Amino acid sequence: MEKVIIFSAPSGSGKTTVVKHLLQMRSGQLGFSVSATTRKPREGEKDGREYYFLTEEDFRARVERGEFLEHEEVYKGILYGTLISEVERLWSEGKAVLFDVDVLGGMQLKKRFGNKALAVFLRPPNKEVLMQRLRSRSTEVEHQLQERLNKAEFELGYEKDYDVVVVNDKLDETFQRCETLVDAFIAAP
């Protein structure tokens, strides 16, 4: 099964929560593509589980060697990307690849995989909810919160380019909608 499912959203929209739910509910069908990043691990994060934590030098060298499907400087000085080896690993296990990527990375993946890809844009119900979610995470200081909000404004402009937009207002309903979308996509020829 050489299919990919792309979830993109502004930071704080709940995409990681939705992706983790789908992986739990469809573990036999879906495999998670672990992204690479140059950012430092947050407390509790483990290399190879949440991300492959690389130095900027190593990351750029891998880009030069053509090891990435897509990569992006998501925040100033912080690189993220999808390793080709991750997709190949999951396809060899007979699983559809589930991506949790930023909006520009998602667009690159959609372009690369075409009709083998389902691109889902997850959005918060409004900006106030987004700000509240970002503040409650307590992972950023105030200037970083503002940077994420500014980026969210930019990213929301891309939702029309995705196959489906899901508003994450009530989590149980969001889970159900996403499960239905994924099941239909996987079942399609």
pTM of the model: 0.85
For residue 189, the model assigns a pLDDT of 87
Phi-psi region of 84 (alpha: psi -120 to 50; beta: other; left: phi over 0): alpha
Query: Does an H or E element contain 170, and which?
Result: none
More confident site: 105 or 11:
105
4-187 classified as CATH 3.40.50.300: yes
* Cβ-contact 1, 98 below 8 angstroms: no
For residue 124, the model assigns a pLDDT of 85
Q: Where are the domains of the chain?
A: 4-187
Q: Which residues contact 150 (CB under 8 A, 6 or more apart)?
A: none
Alpha helices in 27-126 (DSSP H): 56-64, 84-92, 103-113
pLDDT in tens, 13-52: 889 899 999 999 999 999 999 999 999 999 999 999 999 9
pLDDT in tens, 56-71: 999 999 999 999 999 9
pLDDT in tens, 116-156: 999 999 998 877 766 676 666 555 556 676 777 777 788 88
Terminal Cα distance for the chain, rounded: 10
Q: What are the φ/ψ torsions at residue 50 (nearest 5 degrees)?
A: -80, -45
